[in-house]
A and B are shown apart, each in its own frame.
Chain A
Amino acid sequence: MEHNAVKQILSCRDVSKTFYGDGKCTEVIRHIDFDVTENEFVVLFGPGQCGKTTLIKMLAGLEECEEGSISLENEKITGPRPDLGVVYQTTALFPWCTVRGNIEFGPKVRNKDKKETRKRADHFIDLVGLKGFEDSYPKALSGGMRQRVGIARAYCNDPRVLLMDEPFGHLDAQTRYMMEEALENIWQKEKRTVIFVTNNIEEAIYLADRIILLTNRPASIKQEFKIELPRPRDYVSPEFLKLREIITQAMDATV
């Protein structure tokens, strides 16, 4: 009974956005409409500069919707809120905080119990594989390690939904594979609703329960793909490559 109950957690209703400036207006997002169920891993996949980051910012409440509305459990999102966690492409770690300081930042500013926070932080530091680096400053970490801190920081604040804006976009290919594996691993252990933005097709298929394919700017939904391959997935399995071909074809038609 419970097994079949799929709970809607986030809904994006007919959202549009246009930027005005320098005497011209740029339509970035056109009538985007989708729902996300609890603990689902949704990948927003689309070409570069198509407006994905704007969409993530709107989901996070950092950017207003011009038309339509976004709601979390039937409550409209009107501004930043801690039950939405963001992992940034640029990592956006606080350089003056240590690894632990960054990861504990959320619970600390929300005046959570100190002991509890420390325990949570320890748990996530361990989970993302940063044991021994608790007291390092971000400047001493590699790109991959910084992104691990970013993920742990978002998780440690215990959000309902995690928004990830091309978190591995700046990493080299090898580190990227490692991080995809690590993220999948973390997500398997700490189930969470994730909305993940990328322009990398392998990454999308490797991680997603569902891929939402976006068109070029103005971004609108082109097609959706449910990915039902068993996890962890194999980048070179025939099923994986088949999906890759199907989605690439659908994508080519959008550009």
Chain B
Amino acid sequence: MKKAVQLEKIGWVVFDLLLLLLGWIFLVTCTSAKDTFPDPVSVFSMLFTSFVKPIGTYTMWGHIMWSLYRVMVGFTLASVTGIIVGIAMGSSKIAEAIIKPIFEFLRPIPPIAWIPLAILWFGIDEASKYFIIWLGAFINVTLNSYVGASRTDETLIGAARMLGAGKRKVFTRIILPASMPQIFAGLQVAMSSCWMAVLVAEMVRSNEGVGWIIIRGTDTGNTAQIIVGMITIGVIGFILTTAMSWIERKVCSWNTTL
């Protein structure tokens, strides 16, 4: 029964893709869009050859690795700093009073708005990219970890203290695991925001990466290359978020809402 339902779902996905493809073919053969819009054949042949034939200095693998590497640096930094600051805010009233207003102030400013300052402060190379990628993710992880830690059930803290747990053990064995689901919600959003930030950063200034492929396509009037870049971005983004939920299910298998 379950298998049949799954098969049906897959069937609809295939149907959707075919529909999309048909629409695309119609667009490039029967309308005037064909001047500015590449046909599926040239896009897919370029997509497949890009993995062996370099675009610029690197093949598609190289560009993907560059982008992923930047994301991983920013994401890791953001996770570590965000969880520490967020949990500090959630478990200490003083930390909350000092840090929270700053965050409320910074949160509505999109990371992209920081690009000019980032370039002035960190130069146009990798450091400013890491900063931009880190920033948006950091704010998300911090706020989510904060909410998670501050909503820890008081009864559980009381129960742990009654069983003999001191301050440090209450922190590592109660507050930290209790915040985990919320932290993961933050990491999930942070991953998407990192992926978005890296593309912007690469479009602004770089010589490699998936974001660069698109910008390069615009500069050379190569519309197929732009779409190849976009498809790659979508697929990688999808893989990243799926991987995150998979890790969450493994780490928080005790969680009732999963």
Contacts and interface: CB of A to CB of B under 8 A. Distances in A.
Interface in B145-179: 153, 155-156, 158-166, 169, 173-174, 177-178
Interface residues of B, number: 23
A157 B173 CA distance: 17
A134 to B, nearest CB: 14
Interface stretch (A37-45, A91-99, A245-253): A91-99
Given A88-B155, A90-B155, A80 B161 contact: yes
Interface stretch (B30-38, B117-125, B248-256): B248-256
A86 interface: yes
A60 interface: yes
Given A109-B163, A137-B254, A96 B155 contact: no
Nearest to A95: B254
Given A96-B177, A109-B164, A86 B159 contact: yes
B155 A95 contact: no
- Report which residue of B155, B174, B178 has the largest number of chain A beta carbons within 10 angstroms of its beta carbon: B155
A79 to B, nearest CB: 8
Contacts of B253: 137
B256 A95 contact: yes
The size class of the interface chain A forms with chain B is 20 to 34
A88 B174 CA distance: 17
B180 interface: yes
A50 to B, nearest CB: 20
B254 A139 contact: yes
B172 to A, nearest CB: 10
A39 B94 CA distance: 45
Nearest to B256: A139
B224 to A, nearest CB: 50
- Report which residue of B163, B177, B178, B254 has the largest number of chain A beta carbons within 10 angstroms of its beta carbon: B163
Contacts of A84: 162
Contacts of A139: 254-256
Contact of B158 (A62, A97, A106, A110): A62
Interface in B125-156: 153, 155-156
Contacts of A86: 158-159, 162
Nearest to A57: B158
A105 B252 CA distance: 19
Contacts of B160: 94, 105, 109
Nearest to A112: B164
Given A109-B173, A137-B253, A139-B254, A92 B155 contact: yes
A100 interface: no
A167 interface: no
A117 to B, nearest CB: 12
A109 B256 CA distance: 25
Going nearest first, the 9 A-B pairs with the smallest beta carbon separation are A82-B164, A106-B163, A80-B161, A96-B177, A109-B165, A92-B159, A110-B164, A137-B254, A139-B256
7 contacts: A62-B162, A80-B161, A94-B156, A94-B160, A105-B163, A109-B169, A110-B163
Interface of B: 153, 155-156, 158-166, 169, 173-174, 177-178, 180, 252-256
